[in-house]
C-alpha cells in the first residue's frame, strides 16, 4: 500500500513537469515583425520560409512583413523562386510579402514576373525604416 502512495506521489509531481517541457512556447501577444531579405541564396530563402513558419507556430497572432530587395527580389520572382508554395501558404496565414520597385526598375523586372502573393513598395529600405518607426521589430534574413 505504501508503494502505491509513493508511486502516485511521484506520478503527481513528475507528470506536470514532463507536460511543461514538451509544450511549445506560444504567445497570443500581437507581435509585429519586418524581415528584410537581400540575399539571392536559395538556402537562405528556404531558411527564411521555415523561420516564418516556426515564428507563426509560436506566435500565431503576429503580423509579419517580408521586404525583398536587391538580390532578395528573386524570392518573389516566378521564374527563380523555389519557395512559391511556401510563400502561398504563408500568405494565407497573413504574411505580407513586398518587392522593392527600385530593384524592379534597376533589374527591369515587370510586376507580372512576380508572384501574385506579393505587393510592391517604392523603396524597400524605406519600407523597413517606416515599419521600425511604427514599432515593428526588425530581423535581417539570411544564413
pTM, entire model: 0.82
Burial, 30: exposed, middle or buried (Cβ in 10 Å; 0-12, 13-18, 19+)?
A: exposed
Enumerate domains of the chain plus CATH numbers.
Answer: 25-140 (3.40.1260.10)
Q: Is-contact 96 66, C-beta < 8 A?
A: yes
For the chain, list residues with pLDDT below 70: 1-25
**CA 129 vs CA 105, 132, 141: distances in Å:** 21, 5, 15
Amino acid at each position: 500500500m505504501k508503494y502505491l502512495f509513493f508511486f502516485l506521489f511521484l506520478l503527481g509531481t513528475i507528470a506536470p513537469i514532463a507536460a511543461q517541457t514538451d509544450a511549445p512556447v506560444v504567445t497570443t501577444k500581437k507581435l509585429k515583425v519586418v524581415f528584410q531579405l537581400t540575399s539571392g541564396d536559395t538556402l537562405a530563402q528556404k531558411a527564411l520560409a521555415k523561420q516564418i513558419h516556426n515564428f507563426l507556430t509560436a506566435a500565431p497572432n503576429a503580423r509579419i512583413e517580408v521586404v525583398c530587395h536587391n538580390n532578395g527580389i528573386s524570392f518573389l520572382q516566378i521564374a527563380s523562386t523555389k519557395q512559391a508554395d511556401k510563400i502561398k501558404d504563408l500568405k494565407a496565414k497573413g504574411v505580407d510579402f513586398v518587392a522593392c520597385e527600385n530593384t524592379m526598375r534597376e533589374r527591369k523586372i515587370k510586376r507580372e514576373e512576380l508572384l501574385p502573393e506579393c505587393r510592391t513598395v517604392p523603396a524597400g529600405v524605406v519600407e523597413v525604416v517606416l515599419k521600425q518607426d511604427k514599432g515593428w521589430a526588425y530581423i535581417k534574413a539570411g544564413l
